[in-house]
Chain A
Amino acid sequence: MIEFRQVTKRYDSDHTALRQVNFHLDRGELAFLTGHSGAGKSTLLKLLMVMERPTAGEVVVGGQALNRLPRRQVPYIRRHIGVVFQNHQLLFDRTVFDNVAMPLEVMGASPRDVGRRVRAALDKVGLLSKEKMNPLQLSGGEQQRVGIARAVVNKPPLLLADEPTGNLDPKLSADIMNLFAQFSQVGVTVLIASHDLALINEMDRRTLTLDHGNLIAGGTPLQGGFRGR
C-alpha cells in the first residue's frame, strides 16, 4: 500500500529531514511512527500527502509513484488518503455535519450520498447526535473525533494521523487508538505518528522509529521480532 524506496528529503540545502528511508506497509496494516522531536515524522507523512516532494528516492502509494505526479493530479491522490492532525483543522463557521461532509463535497457527491455517508461516519465515532452543533461547542476529544470522521468519510484506503492523541487524557487516547484499530481491521492501512510511547507499547503493533531522519527500527515488513517493541 505504501512504499518508501531510498527516500531522502532535504529542506534547505544543508538540513536533511529524512535519509534514505526504506520501508513498506501492506494493506490493512496499522503501524506507529515514532522518534524524537524533529526526527522527521511529520515530514514522512507530508511526503505521502504530496505536501512535500522527496529530494531523492521514490514514494509509492497504492501502486502510484508520487514523484513525478503532476500537480493537477495531486487532489485525486488526496481523496484517497484520510488525514488527522493534532490541531484537528475543523472549520468553526459551519456545523459538525458540514465539516465532515467536506471530502465528499470536493468529490462532487450527490446530496443524498453525502447525508448517508456523513451520518455513517459520525455514527462510527459516536457523534451522530451532535451533527448540527458547531465544533466550538464540543470538547477537545469530540473535536478530534470529528476530525477522524472527516478523514474516513469517503472510505479512504489509507489513513494518516499526526499526533492524533496529542493532549487528550489516556482514556480518550485509548478510545481513539481503538477506533484506528477497527479501521485497519476492515482493510484500511493506518500510519500514526506519535510520541506517546506508553500507548504505543500497549497497542503492541509494528513501530517505525526515526532518529535524525534515519529509520532505525521497524523498517522491514511485519515479522514477529517487531511486535511489542
Chain B
Amino acid sequence: MAVDPLSKPRKPDIARGAKASRSPWREQAESYFIHHRKVARDSASRMWRTPVASLMTWTVMGVALALPVALLLLLTSLQGVSAGWESGARVTAYMKLDASLEQTRKLAEEIGADGRVDGVELIDRDRALTEFRASSGLDDALDYLDENPLPHTLLITPEESARTADGVASLLMFVESMEGIERVQVDLGWLQRLNAMTDLLARAVWALAILLAAAVVLVIGNTVRLSIESRRDEILVAKLVGGTDGFVRRPFLYTGAWFGLGGGVVAWILLQLSLWWLSGPIERLAGLYSSDFSLSGLSFDGAFALIIVAMLLGWLGAWIAVKRHLDDIEPGEIAGG
C-alpha cells in the first residue's frame, strides 16, 4: 500500500472545508484553465466523432446565417448606388424654343453665380441635335425635319451641400422661376423610390435576420438537448460527486459555441461562393446601365463578426437547452430503492 488515501481525515466542519482550498490561488486558476481547455477540446472532438450529423447542423446554421447577411450586403450595395447618384445629381433646364443663345448665356452666368450651384454647362441646340443624332440612331428621320426641334439646354451641377433631395428641390424651384426657362427636370423620382425601397428592404432584412437568428438558436438548442440526453449518466454522476451546475453545463455550452463556429464558417463559404457565382452577371448588368454598381463581399472584419455572432448564437441556444433540460436532471433517481 503506497499512500493511504484516508490517512488525513478532513476536519468535521463540512461547509467550511468546502470553501477553503488547500492549493494556492495560482494553482487553482491554472487547473481551472486546464479544465476549460480540456472541456473545449473534448466537446470539439465529440463533434468530429459524428461528422455527418455535425456537418448537417453546420449547414443548416450556415444557410440561416448566410441568407440575411447576403441581403444586408445587397442592401449596402444598393445604398451605395443611390448615394453615388446623389453625388452626381444634375438639374437639366430647357430654354424656351425662342430664347436666343445670348439670353441663354446670360442666364447661365446668373445661375452659376448662385451659392447652391457648382457649375453650369451650356449645350446649344445645334450640339444637342448632333448628340441626339448620334445617340438615338434616328439620323435619317431627323433629316426630314425642317428645323431643329431642340431648345438650348443648361446642365446645372449643384454645390456639394445642395446635393440632397431638399437642396435639389429648392434649386429646381429657383431655376424654374427664371425667365426664358421652359422646363426644368431632375430625375429625383426614381431616387426617392429607390431610397424608400431600400428603407423598406432594410426593415424586411432585419426582421428576417431576427427570425433566422431565432431559428439558429432553436436548432442548436435542440441539438444540444439531444446531446444532453445521450450524456445523461455522465451528468448524473457528475452531480452525484459534487459537480456544480457550472461544471455540468460547461461541455454543452462549448458544444453550442463550436456549432456556431462551424455554422459561421459555412455561412462565410456560402457567401463567397454566391458572390463569385453572381459577380459576372452583375458586372454585365451594371455595364448595361452604365452604372458602377458592384456587389461587395464580406470584409475581414465582417467575416470575423459573422463568426463571432454565430458562436454567440450557438452558445445562447446551448444555454437555453441547458437551462431547460439539464438543471432538471437530479441524481435522486440513480440512488434506486
- Residues on A close to B: CB < 8 A? 1, 27-28, 37-38, 42, 45-46, 49, 51-52, 61-64, 72-73, 75-80, 83, 85-87, 89, 91, 93, 102-103, 105-111, 113, 116-117, 119-121, 123-124, 150, 152-153, 155-158, 162, 183, 186-188
Contacts and interface: CB of A to CB of B under 8 A. Distances in A.
B242 A103 contact: yes
Interface stretch (B9-17, B84-92, B132-140, B145-153): B9-17
Contacts of B14: 61-64, 77, 80, 157-158
Given A46-B335, A75-B244, A116-B3, A89 B237 contact: yes
B328 interface: no
Contact of B4 (A42, A63, A162, A186): A186
A40 B147 CA distance: 115
Contact of B31 (A108, A156, A183): A108
Interface string B232-244: 0110111111111
A165 B116 CA distance: 98
A67 to B, nearest CB: 13
A120 B236 contact: no
Interface of B: 1-15, 17-19, 23, 27-28, 30-32, 34-35, 233-234, 236-245, 247, 330-332, 334-337
A194 to B, nearest CB: 14
Nearest to B238: A106
Contact of B233 (A83, A89, A120, A150): A89
A187 B4 CA distance: 13
Given A75-B243, A78-B240, A93-B234, A62 B12 contact: yes
7 contacts: A27-B9, A75-B243, A76-B19, A76-B242, A109-B23, A111-B34, A157-B9
Main secondary structure of the interface of A (DSSP, over half): mixed
A93 B42 CA distance: 13
A62 B32 CA distance: 28
A75 B239 contact: yes
A166 to B, nearest CB: 10
Contact of A42 (B2, B35, B243, B335): B335
A164 to B, nearest CB: 12
A57 to B, nearest CB: 19
Contacts of B1: 123-124
Nearest to B334: A89
A76 B13 CA distance: 12
Contacts of B236: 89
A158 B6 CA distance: 11
A106 B244 contact: yes
Contact of B32 (A51, A108, A162, A183): A108
A76 B336 CA distance: 22
Nearest to A105: B35
